[in-house]
Amino acid sequence: MENGPRIQAPTLLVYGDSSKLRPVGEELERRIPRSRLELLPSEGMFTIDQGPERWASAVRDFLREPGV
């Protein structure tokens, strides 16, 4: 996580809303400039196969943001 401030590219962080790793995503969002945390509904750790449409929608919306 110490390299977070060095990341300059727009960064999308996708985590499950009830994942044990959610605090890691929240900390990364604080440390990485131009990052956004997207929390997707899940029962624990979110994986793409749990909701490919939701994941694709989150990525698509992120890529449409100005400056990305």
Choose among 44, 39, 41: nearest CA to 28: 39
Collapsing DSSP to helix, strand or coil, 26 comes out as helix
Res 51: pLDDT? 80
Q: pLDDT tens-digit profile of 2-53?
A: 776 899 999 999 998 988 999 999 999 999 999 999 999 886 666 777 788 9
Task: Pull the structure tokens for residue 55.
Answer: 């994941």
Among 6, 24, 5, CA closest to 14: 24
How many structural domains is the chain composed of? 1
The whole-number pLDDT of residue 5 equals 80
d(CA 7, CA 31): 9
Q: Give me the pLDDT at residue 60, please.
A: 97
* Confidence (pTM): 0.84
Q: Which helix (H) or strand (E) holds 29?
A: helix 22-31
Domain that holds residue 26: 4-63
- Give the residues across from 40 on adjacent strands: 16
Tell me, yes or no, whether 68 lies in a domain: no
